[in-house]
Amino acid sequence: MFKVTASEIRDLLIAFIFISLSFSILYSGRNVSALQAIFPVVMIGLGLGFVLHELGHKFASMHYGYWAEFKLWPAGLIFALVSSFFGFVFAAPGAVYTYSGNYLDDKTNGVISLAGPVVNIILALVFLIIATLVYKQAFYNSTMQFIFIVCSLGFSTNSYLAVFNLVPIWNLDGSKVIRWNIIIWLVAIAIAGIMTYLSMTVGVENIVRILIGF
């Protein structure tokens, strides 16, 4: 049975605010006016991805019959904020802890760890599809323009969250996925990496224009 505790909701909310603020600082270039304007956009595009990433781990853990709970990592909050002033975001404000009661085999641990980045990849593609659908209307409709901006940022940030978490170091998801199956890890990080690279070099609007032949 899926259950979220009060402390888990509190920790997710705090992490959600900090990670959204960190990316807002990064994208605003530390300009206060720009920060105020972009913060709500980031909260939708990125914040949704962060929460669903963690819930992806939780659902996967509970699928195997294990209790899982998101817990805040206070140092991670500071790392996220500080790193945003240096051109990137260390996006690890907390993690879902799986309580198996015994040894967690590599496959189970790998699948649970992969669930979060896969959620981000899927969500990024959903954002890209929506951005493509509303692009032409965004030229003359302010609501559609806002949706396009949210979806553009949602594609970029969710792609980044996926590739960041798939890096096989420390306690990130990638270290557990690669221990389980290096081929699956390579495919996942390649997809996330290409998406991130395209969003940073080609740009989401140009990707959309290519897709619709505009």
Residues annotated as catalytic are 54
What's the token pair of residue 110? 């790998």
Q: Which residues of 54-88 are buried (b: 16+ CB within 10 A; e: fewer)?
A: bbbbbbbbbeeebebbbebbeebbebbbebbeeee
What's the token pair of residue 154? 């949602």
Q: CA–CA separation, 156 vs 160, rounded Å?
A: 6
Count, in order, helices (H) and strands (E) of the chain: 9, 2
What's the token pair of residue 143? 């609501």
